[in-house]
Amino acid sequence: MSSQNIPTRDRILKSTWQLLEAGNGSAVRMSDIAKAAKISRQALYLHFPNRADLLTATTRYLDEVHDIDAKLAKSRSAASGTQRLEAWVETWGNYIPTIFGVAKALMAMQETDEEAAAAWNDRICAIRDGCEKAVQALKADGALTDSMSEVEATDILLTILSVRNWEQLRIDCNWTQARYIDMMQQLAAQALVKS
Protein backbone atom coordinates (compact mmCIF):
# COMPACT_ATOMS: atom_id res chain seq x y z
CA MET A 1 0.00 0.00 0.00
CA SER A 2 1.44 3.35 -0.92
CA SER A 3 1.79 6.05 1.72
CA GLN A 4 -0.81 8.14 -0.14
CA ASN A 5 -3.47 5.49 0.58
CA ILE A 6 -2.83 5.55 4.34
CA PRO A 7 -4.82 8.23 6.20
CA THR A 8 -2.62 11.18 7.14
CA ARG A 9 -3.10 10.72 10.89
CA ASP A 10 -1.97 7.08 10.67
CA ARG A 11 1.03 8.07 8.53
CA ILE A 12 2.02 10.63 11.15
CA LEU A 13 1.69 8.12 14.00
CA LYS A 14 3.57 5.38 12.11
CA SER A 15 6.33 7.81 11.22
CA THR A 16 6.64 8.98 14.82
CA TRP A 17 6.71 5.38 16.03
CA GLN A 18 9.48 4.48 13.56
CA LEU A 19 11.53 7.58 14.39
CA LEU A 20 11.27 6.93 18.13
CA GLU A 21 12.39 3.31 17.72
CA ALA A 22 15.26 4.31 15.44
CA GLY A 23 16.38 7.32 17.46
CA ASN A 24 17.90 5.57 20.47
CA GLY A 25 16.54 8.25 22.78
CA SER A 26 17.48 11.30 20.77
CA ALA A 27 14.83 13.98 20.45
CA VAL A 28 12.41 13.56 17.59
CA ARG A 29 11.41 16.96 16.24
CA MET A 30 8.12 17.85 14.62
CA SER A 31 10.00 18.74 11.43
CA ASP A 32 11.53 15.22 11.37
CA ILE A 33 8.10 13.67 11.77
CA ALA A 34 6.54 15.86 9.08
CA LYS A 35 9.31 14.95 6.67
CA ALA A 36 8.99 11.21 7.41
CA ALA A 37 5.20 11.38 7.01
CA LYS A 38 5.62 13.35 3.76
CA ILE A 39 3.51 16.27 4.90
CA SER A 40 4.19 19.89 5.79
CA ARG A 41 4.81 20.98 9.37
CA GLN A 42 1.63 23.02 9.15
CA ALA A 43 -0.35 19.90 8.20
CA LEU A 44 1.23 18.05 11.12
CA TYR A 45 0.13 20.77 13.53
CA LEU A 46 -3.43 20.55 12.16
CA HIS A 47 -3.54 16.94 13.39
CA PHE A 48 -1.51 17.40 16.57
CA PRO A 49 -1.32 20.90 18.07
CA ASN A 50 1.82 20.06 20.05
CA ARG A 51 4.51 17.43 20.33
CA ALA A 52 3.29 16.12 23.71
CA ASP A 53 -0.09 15.27 22.17
CA LEU A 54 1.64 13.57 19.24
CA LEU A 55 3.96 11.47 21.41
CA THR A 56 1.07 10.42 23.66
CA ALA A 57 -1.10 9.59 20.65
CA THR A 58 1.74 7.49 19.24
CA THR A 59 1.97 5.35 22.36
CA ARG A 60 -1.79 4.86 22.31
CA TYR A 61 -1.62 4.06 18.61
CA LEU A 62 0.73 1.16 19.41
CA ASP A 63 -1.91 -0.17 21.81
CA GLU A 64 -4.52 0.13 19.08
CA VAL A 65 -2.37 -1.53 16.40
CA HIS A 66 -1.46 -4.38 18.75
CA ASP A 67 -5.04 -4.71 20.09
CA ILE A 68 -4.16 -4.35 23.75
CA ASP A 69 -7.82 -4.71 24.74
CA ALA A 70 -7.91 -8.26 23.37
CA LYS A 71 -4.68 -9.04 25.19
CA LEU A 72 -6.13 -7.75 28.47
CA ALA A 73 -9.32 -9.83 28.21
CA LYS A 74 -7.89 -12.74 30.23
CA SER A 75 -6.86 -10.45 33.07
CA ARG A 76 -10.10 -8.50 33.05
CA SER A 77 -12.26 -11.65 33.11
CA ALA A 78 -10.26 -13.56 35.74
CA ALA A 79 -12.39 -15.41 38.29
CA SER A 80 -10.22 -14.50 41.29
CA GLY A 81 -7.72 -11.93 42.45
CA THR A 82 -4.81 -14.33 42.24
CA GLN A 83 -5.81 -15.30 38.71
CA ARG A 84 -6.11 -11.64 37.77
CA LEU A 85 -2.66 -10.91 39.19
CA GLU A 86 -1.13 -13.83 37.29
CA ALA A 87 -2.87 -12.87 34.04
CA TRP A 88 -1.93 -9.19 34.41
CA VAL A 89 1.74 -10.03 34.93
CA GLU A 90 1.65 -12.33 31.90
CA THR A 91 -0.16 -9.83 29.67
CA TRP A 92 1.93 -6.79 30.54
CA GLY A 93 5.17 -8.76 30.68
CA ASN A 94 4.56 -10.16 27.21
CA TYR A 95 3.56 -6.74 25.88
CA ILE A 96 6.77 -5.02 26.95
CA PRO A 97 8.83 -6.45 24.04
CA THR A 98 6.24 -5.05 21.62
CA ILE A 99 6.52 -1.49 22.89
CA PHE A 100 10.09 -1.60 24.17
CA GLY A 101 11.65 0.52 21.41
CA VAL A 102 9.24 3.41 21.91
CA ALA A 103 9.28 3.02 25.70
CA LYS A 104 13.07 3.10 25.82
CA ALA A 105 13.16 6.21 23.64
CA LEU A 106 10.66 8.05 25.81
CA MET A 107 12.43 7.01 29.01
CA ALA A 108 15.75 8.24 27.64
CA MET A 109 14.26 11.51 26.46
CA GLN A 110 12.17 12.31 29.54
CA GLU A 111 15.04 13.73 31.58
CA THR A 112 15.45 16.69 29.24
CA ASP A 113 12.22 16.66 27.23
CA GLU A 114 9.00 17.66 28.99
CA GLU A 115 6.85 16.45 26.10
CA ALA A 116 8.43 13.00 26.12
CA ALA A 117 8.05 12.94 29.91
CA ALA A 118 4.34 13.74 29.55
CA ALA A 119 3.88 10.92 27.02
CA TRP A 120 5.76 8.43 29.20
CA ASN A 121 3.79 9.53 32.27
CA ASP A 122 0.56 8.86 30.35
CA ARG A 123 1.74 5.30 29.73
CA ILE A 124 2.84 4.81 33.33
CA CYS A 125 -0.63 5.88 34.47
CA ALA A 126 -2.18 3.24 32.21
CA ILE A 127 0.18 0.54 33.51
CA ARG A 128 -0.43 1.65 37.09
CA ASP A 129 -4.17 1.32 36.47
CA GLY A 130 -3.67 -2.32 35.46
CA CYS A 131 -1.59 -2.93 38.58
CA GLU A 132 -4.20 -1.22 40.74
CA LYS A 133 -7.00 -3.35 39.30
CA ALA A 134 -5.04 -6.54 40.09
CA VAL A 135 -4.42 -5.35 43.65
CA GLN A 136 -8.09 -4.41 44.09
CA ALA A 137 -9.11 -7.89 42.93
CA LEU A 138 -6.78 -9.43 45.51
CA LYS A 139 -8.23 -7.15 48.20
CA ALA A 140 -11.81 -8.02 47.21
CA ASP A 141 -11.00 -11.71 47.63
CA GLY A 142 -9.31 -11.14 50.98
CA ALA A 143 -6.07 -12.38 49.43
CA LEU A 144 -4.01 -9.18 49.62
CA THR A 145 -1.21 -9.28 52.18
CA ASP A 146 -1.83 -7.37 55.39
CA SER A 147 1.71 -5.98 55.37
CA MET A 148 0.95 -3.07 53.03
CA SER A 149 -1.81 -0.78 51.86
CA GLU A 150 -3.43 -1.07 48.42
CA VAL A 151 -1.45 1.97 47.27
CA GLU A 152 1.83 0.43 48.46
CA ALA A 153 0.92 -2.90 46.84
CA THR A 154 0.20 -1.09 43.57
CA ASP A 155 3.55 0.72 43.86
CA ILE A 156 5.37 -2.57 44.42
CA LEU A 157 3.66 -4.29 41.48
CA LEU A 158 4.36 -1.33 39.19
CA THR A 159 8.02 -1.46 40.20
CA ILE A 160 8.31 -5.23 39.72
CA LEU A 161 6.84 -4.89 36.23
CA SER A 162 8.84 -1.86 35.12
CA VAL A 163 10.24 -1.71 31.61
CA ARG A 164 13.70 -1.14 33.12
CA ASN A 165 13.46 -4.38 35.10
CA TRP A 166 12.35 -6.25 31.96
CA GLU A 167 15.34 -4.79 30.08
CA GLN A 168 17.74 -5.76 32.87
CA LEU A 169 16.56 -9.36 33.07
CA ARG A 170 15.78 -10.07 29.41
CA ILE A 171 18.54 -8.13 27.65
CA ASP A 172 21.33 -7.62 30.17
CA CYS A 173 20.93 -10.97 31.97
CA ASN A 174 19.76 -12.95 28.91
CA TRP A 175 16.69 -14.46 30.57
CA THR A 176 14.17 -16.07 28.25
CA GLN A 177 10.78 -14.41 28.01
CA ALA A 178 9.14 -17.49 29.52
CA ARG A 179 11.51 -17.42 32.51
CA TYR A 180 10.90 -13.70 32.98
CA ILE A 181 7.11 -14.18 33.07
CA ASP A 182 7.33 -17.15 35.43
CA MET A 183 9.63 -15.35 37.86
CA MET A 184 7.64 -12.11 37.82
CA GLN A 185 4.44 -14.05 38.53
CA GLN A 186 6.16 -15.77 41.44
CA LEU A 187 7.66 -12.55 42.74
CA ALA A 188 4.37 -10.64 42.50
CA ALA A 189 2.50 -13.43 44.29
CA GLN A 190 5.12 -13.67 47.05
CA ALA A 191 5.03 -9.91 47.58
CA LEU A 192 1.28 -9.34 47.41
CA VAL A 193 -0.69 -12.50 48.21
CA LYS A 194 -1.48 -13.34 51.79
CA SER A 195 0.28 -16.57 52.81
Please name each of the domains of the chain with its CATH number: 6-58 (1.10.10.60), 64-192 (1.10.357)
Q: Give the predicted TM-score (pTM) of the model.
A: 0.89
Q: First CA to last CA across the chain, in angstroms?
A: 55
Q: What CA–CA distance (Å, rounded) separates 53 from 35?
A: 18
Angle subtended by helix axes 150-160 and 177-192, to nearest 10: 160
DSSP-derived secondary structure letter, 144? B
Q: What is the pLDDT along the chain (195 residues), one digit of tens a residue?
A: 444 567 999 999 999 999 998 875 567 889 999 999 999 999 999 999 998 899 999 999 999 999 999 999 999 999 999 999 999 999 999 999 999 999 998 998 898 889 999 999 999 999 999 999 999 999 999 999 999 999 999 999 999 999 999 999 999 999 999 999 999 999 999 999 998
What are the contacts of 148-157 at 24+ separation with CB within 8 A?
153/191, 153/192, 154/128, 156/191, 156/192, 157/85, 157/131, 157/188, 157/191, 157/192
Q: What is the CA radius of gyration of the chain?
A: 19
What are the contacts of 61-68 at 24+ separation with CB within 8 A?
61/10, 61/13, 61/14, 61/17, 62/17, 62/98, 62/99, 62/102, 66/95, 66/98, 66/99, 68/95
Handedness of CA 177, 175, 181, 100 (dihedral sign): negative
DSSP-derived secondary structure letter, 173? S
